[in-house]
Amino acid sequence: MIRVLIALGLICLTTSVQAQPVVLATPLSDDGAVVDQPRGGAAETLQDFPFVLVVPSVERRGFIEWDTSLAARAPLSSATLRGRVSVNNSLSVGTRTIELSVYAADGTVALDDFDRAVTPVTTVSYTPPADTFVAFDLDVLSEITPLLASGATHIGLRGRSTVNDAANVLTMVELVLETLCGNDAVDSPEECDTGASLSDTAADACRLDCTDASCGDSVIDTGETCDDGPLNSDTAADACRLDCDPARCGDNVVDMDEACDDGPTGSATCTTECTVVVDAGLPPADSGTPPADSGAPPADSGTPPADSGTPPADSAVSDAGTDGGTIPPAISDGGCGCRMVVDSRPNSALGVLASLLVFGVWARRRRRA
């Protein structure tokens, strides 16, 4: 029985613990009053304090601006504007009524804030000297959420008197923004929440707006080859595609080094390798490569090559002066332009001797006769 009670107690304790919202820092950027004196036309001067006043000769509108950049992406769970409109001059001028509005600010109170477009939130009234201030505690979530969503990095409060009064001033004002994103518990409509480890730069991390890492968040996560965020495109050449895969042949976009791209199945004119199909009815383009050697020698025509008539150069001549005198002496041809041939055969010498002997016998017989 005791164990059952302890268990029930633990269950109640567990279910009663709720993750607390995270209060976002909203540091004061600037405050002051914009003065229109004389009234009409553009405002003329600035004052350091957020005075609020309207009389026939002058109007002062009070402004306070906060840096809300931390709320740029975090989905807000609450936005509260608290403060007072206090007397700066407690003259009895009847009931004073002040309009309170919010606006997308830039962090600096300037003359052009006098006529800046605003979103009215409420009006507050009080009656000095009996009252010295009127407090306000306003839920402004529905008013500032669209301003932040449109890109505002600062939020401003404007106080404007709607009836003639005496000087008032905005005091003790704070803008409190809270979010459930970052409290380490997944609250609807969050996709994830890892508390202090939320990140817009780490791969696969839960993002600062408590959404899951995804293709298109400018971080290459698991399963992604590329991610250029808003530059991902399924139509731009060489872009990271919307599925976080790189540009490729077959994605229907002609990218670098592709002659064409008609999708994954190609077409009659473009191959699946993204090259142009050659028309089969036309001769192939000259590839610049000579035909292959068949290996057969050219047929012999039977005609010897023509004699050019020019004897080959005598290599001995070109050696002149470099060959140390080893060239044999030339044989004289007696100026006949021919070359003498010495027949060294022994039969030729015997023939000559026999001829001389016959010639000698014939000559002797002729002298005797």
Which residues here bind Ca ion, judged by CB under 5 A?
180, 183, 185, 187, 190, 193, 217, 219, 221, 227, 251, 253, 255, 261
Smallest gap from residue 226 Cβ to Ca ion (A): 9
Please state the closest distance from residue 187 (CB atom) to Ca ion, in A.
4
**Closer by beta carbon to Ca ion, 238 or else 319:** 238
206: which residues sit within 8 A by CB, 6+ positions away?
191, 192, 193, 194, 197, 198, 199, 212, 213
Contact 228, 244 (CB under 8 A): no
Q: Which is nearer to Ca ion, 160 or 207 (CB)?
A: 207
Q: Using the minimum distance from each CB to Ca ion, give the nearer residue, 36 or 217.
A: 217
Our CB check for Ca ion shows the closer of 81 and 213 to be: 213
Cα gap 60→109, rounded to integer Å: 13
Q: Which is nearer to Ca ion, 4 or 256 (CB)?
A: 256
Tell me how far, at minimum, the Cβ of 186 lies from Ca ion, in Å: 6
59: nearest Cα among 157, 172, 159: 159
Cβ-based nearer residue to Ca ion, 132 or 235: 235
Distances (CA, A) of 150 to 146, 155, 171, 210, 220: 6, 12, 28, 19, 27
What is the smallest separation between the CB atom of 229 and Ca ion, expressed in angstroms? 8
Q: 113 vs 261, which CB is nearer to Ca ion?
A: 261
| Residue recorded with tokens 């994605």 | 251
- Residues 6 or more apart from 166 whose CB is under 8 A from it? 53, 55, 87, 88, 89, 90, 91, 93, 96, 128
| Min separation Cβ 269 and Ca ion, Å | 15
Residue 78 Cβ, how far from Ca ion at the closest point, in Å?
A: 13
- Compute the distance between CA of residue 223 and CA of residue 160 in angstroms, rounded to an integer: 55
The CA–CA distances, whole Å, from 135 to 99, 111, 174, 279 equal 13, 27, 12, 85
Compute how many other C-beta atoms are within 10 angstroms of the C-beta atom of residue 249.
Answer: 21
Q: For Ca ion, which is the closer residue by CB, 91 or 202?
A: 202
- Strand-pair category, 51-55 with 168-179: antiparallel
Question: In the bound complex, which residue of the shown chain has the CB atom lying closest to Ca ion?
Answer: 193
Q: Shortest gap between Cβ of 185 and Ca ion (angstroms)? A: 5
Distance (Å, rounded) from C-alpha 188 to C-alpha 319? 105
Q: In this structure, what DSSP letter does residue 249 have?
A: T
Q: Determine the Cα–Cα distance for residues 42 and 30; give it in Å rounded to an integer.
A: 21
Q: Which is nearest to 108 in space by CA: 29, 185, 178, 176?
A: 29
Within the chain, residue ranges assigned H as helices are 2-16, 141-149, 315-318, 346-368
Nearer to Ca ion, 86 or 183 (CB): 183
CB of 131 to Ca ion, least distance (A): 41
